[in-house]
C-alpha cells in the first residue's frame, strides 16, 4: 500500500530568496498522526502549503497516496483537507452557513452537503449552535468549526497548521480529543504542526523536529525522549560557597550513570542520568556536603519532549512566547481566540 504522504528532498525558495524549506524528506503512513514541530520561521507552514498544493515547491518530489501533487492538483484537492493557521470562519454567518458554503465550494450535491454538514457539526459538538452567528462562538468553538470546514468533502488526509495556537489549556486538550476521534472513527491521516510539545507528545505517533528548513530529528516521541537519557535531575546549590562548585560538578560527573552535567539557568544545574536517577539524588547531596556546598533543592523527572526540542533547536519553548505568531487575519476572530 502506498504511503499517505511521501516527501523527497523538498526545497522551497520564495521569490525574495528566502530558503524556507531546505531539502527535507519524510513519509507519513495511512492513519498516522504525524507532528511537525519547530520554532517560528522553521518552515512548517511552507511545507504544509506545498503539500496541499497552495504553493509550488522549488524542487523535490511530493506524493499524496501515491499521486504526484504537481501533476494532479484536482485529485489532491479532493483527497486533502486543510485548516490554515488563520481561521477561515466568517463570523457574519452562522455555523451552518459557514459549513454548507464550504460544501458548495467543493461542488458537492445539495443533499450531500446537508448530510455531511450535520455529520461534521455533530462530531465537533457544534450542531446545537448551528443557527447562531459564528460571531457568538467561543475561541474553542471557532477552531472546531474551522477544522470542520476542512472535513466537508471527507478528505483522506487532514492538514492542521497550529490548530491550538493561542488557545487555553482546557480548550487545547479538547481539540486533541476531537483530532483523535477523527483518526479513530474515519481512519484519517493527520499531519499537524504545533508549538506545544506536550500536545505533540500526547497526540502524535511520530514527530519531526524542524529548524531552519531542515529536519533535525524524526521518530516516535518515546524514542526521542529515550535518546536524551533515563532521568533528569535538576539541583540548586547554595551560592554561599560557589568557589567550590566547579570541583563539586566534576565529582558529580565522576559518579556512575551520569551522562551529562551542565548549568541550566539561575544557579540551577541539570544532570542527565543514564538510569536510576532516584539513587543518585542522595549521592549528589552527599558530594555537596563533602565540598561544603549545601543543596537547596533537588528534583527528579523523566525527559520530556521539551528536552528533545531544546537539544535539537537549542531553544526552550518559552523563548517563543514573546514572538507568538498571529492567530487570525480576521480581527474580531482574533480577539475572541485570545479570550
Ligand atoms: N510568502 C513568503 N515570501 C517570502 N518569505 C516567506 C513567505 N512565507 C514565509 N516566508 C519565510 O519563510 C520562512 C519559513 O516560514 P514558515 O513556513 O511560515 O515557518 P513556520 O510556519 O515554521 O513558522 C520564514 O523565514 C518566513 O519569513
Ligand atoms: Mg507557521
Q: Stretch 246-252: mean pLDDT, rounded?
A: 94
Q: Does residue 257 have a pLDDT over 60?
A: yes
Q: Stretch 179-188: mean pLDDT, rounded?
A: 91
Q: Does residue 318 have a pLDDT over 70?
A: no
Residue 142 covered by a domain: yes
Last residue of a domain, one of 163, 195, 225: 225
Protein residue whose Cα sits closest to atom 10 of ligand 1: 20
pLDDT of residue 322: 40
Ligand 1 pocket check for 323: Cβ under 6 Å:
no
How confident is residue 139, by pLDDT bands cut at 50, 70 and 90? confident
Ligand 1 pocket check for 39: Cβ under 6 Å:
no
215 and 243 share one domain: no
Q: Does residue 106 have a pLDDT over 80?
A: yes
Contact predicate 263/269, CB 8 Å: yes
Last residue of a domain, one of 225, 256, 290: 225
207 and 272 share one domain: no
Q: Stretch 123-127: mean pLDDT, rounded?
A: 91
Q: Does residue 246 have a pLDDT over 50?
A: yes
Last residue of a domain, one of 173, 208, 225: 225
Q: Which of 46, 51, 313 to mutate to test the pocket of ligand 1 (most atoms within 8 A of CB)?
A: 46
Q: Does residue 80 have a pLDDT over 90?
A: yes
pLDDT higher for 73 or 5? 5
Ligand 1 pocket check for 43: Cβ under 6 Å:
yes
Take residue 30 and report the three cell numbers written for it: 495511512
Looking at 53-57, 108-112, 139-143, which range is the least confident one? 139-143
Ligand 1 pocket check for 41: Cβ under 6 Å:
yes
Q: Could you list which residues have their CB under 5 Å from ion ligand 2?
A: 44-45
89 and 201 share one domain: yes
- Sheet hosting strand 214-219, strand order edge to edge: 80-83, 157-161, 189-194, 33-37, 206-211, 214-219
Q: Does residue 317 have a pLDDT over 70?
A: no
Ligand 1 pocket check for 42: Cβ under 6 Å:
yes
239 and 263 share one domain: yes
pLDDT of residue 50: 96
Q: What stretch of H or E contains 121?
A: helix 110-123
283-290: list long-range contacts, CB under 8 Å, 24+ apart.
283/255, 284/233, 284/235, 284/252, 284/255, 287/248, 287/251, 287/252, 287/255, 288/237, 288/248, 290/251
Q: Which domain holds residue 263?
A: 230-302
Q: Stretch 210-226: mean pLDDT, rounded?
A: 95
192 and 78 share one domain: yes
> 84 C-alpha vs ligand 2 centroid, how far in Å?
9
16-61 residue pLDDT tens: 999 999 999 999 999 999 999 999 999 999 999 999 999 999 999 9
DSSP 7: E
Q: What is the number of domains present in the chain?
A: 2
Ligand 1 pocket check for 50: Cβ under 6 Å:
no
Q: Does residue 327 have a pLDDT over 60?
A: no
298 and 197 share one domain: no
Contact predicate 305/221, CB 8 Å: yes
Amino acid at each position: 500500500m502506498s504511503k499517505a504522504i511521501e516527501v523527497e528532498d523538498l526545497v522551497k525558495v520564495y521569490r525574495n530568496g528566502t530558503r524556507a524549506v531546505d531539502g527535507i524528506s519524510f513519509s507519513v503512513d495511512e492513519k498516522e498522526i504525524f507532528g511537525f514541530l519547530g520554532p517560528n520561521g522553521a518552515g512548517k507552514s511552507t511545507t504544509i502549503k506545498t503539500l496541499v498544493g497552495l504553493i509550488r515547491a522549488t524542487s523535490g518530489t511530493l506524493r499524496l497516496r501515491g499521486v504526484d501533487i504537481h501533476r494532479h492538483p484536482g485529485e489532491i484537492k479532493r483527497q486533502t483537507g486543510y485548516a490554515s493557521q488563520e481561521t477561515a470562519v466568517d463570523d457574519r454567518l452562522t455555523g451552518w452557513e459557514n459549513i454548507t458554503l464550504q460544501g458548495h465550494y467543493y461542488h458537492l450535491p445539495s443533499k450531500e452537503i446537508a448530510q455531511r454538514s450535520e455529520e461534521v457539526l455533530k462530531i465537533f459538538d457544534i450542531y446545537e449552535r448551528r443557527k447562531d452567528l459564528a460571531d457568538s462562538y467561543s475561541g474553542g468553538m471557532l477552531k472546531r468549526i474551522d477544522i470542520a470546514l476542512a472535513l466537508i468533502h471527507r478528505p483522506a488526509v487532514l492538514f492542521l497548521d497550529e490548530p491550538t495556537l493561542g488557545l487555553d489549556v482546557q480548550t487545547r486538550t479538547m481539540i486533541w480529543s476531537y483530532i483523535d476521534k477523527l483518526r479513530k472513527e474515519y481512519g484519517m491521516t493527520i499531519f499537524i504542526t504545533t508549538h506545544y510539545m506536550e500536545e505533540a507528545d500526547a497526540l502524535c505517533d511520530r514527530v519531526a523536529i524542524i529548524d531552519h528548513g531542515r529536519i533535525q530529528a524524526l521518530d516516535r516521541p518515546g524514542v526521542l525522549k529515550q535518546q536524551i537519557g533515563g532521568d533528569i535531575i535538576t539541583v540548586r546549590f547554595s551560592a554561599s560557597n560557589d568557589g567550590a562548585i566547579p570541583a563539586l560538578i566534576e565529582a558529580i560527573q565522576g559518579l556512575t550513570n551520569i551522562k551529562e552535567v551542565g548549568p541550566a539557568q539561575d544557579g540551577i544545574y541539570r544532570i542527565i542520568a543514564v538510569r536510576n536517577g532516584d539513587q543518585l539524588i542522595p549521592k549528589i547531596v552527599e558530594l555537596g556536603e563533602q565540598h561544603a556546598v549545601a543543596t537547596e533543592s533537588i528534583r527528579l523527572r523523566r525527559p520530556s519532549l521539551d528536552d528533545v526540542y531544546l537539544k535539537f533547536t537549542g531553544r526552550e519553548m518559552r523563548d517563543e512566547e514573546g514572538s507568538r505568531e498571529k492567530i487570525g487575519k480576521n480581527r474580531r476572530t482574533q480577539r475572541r481566540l485570545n479570550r
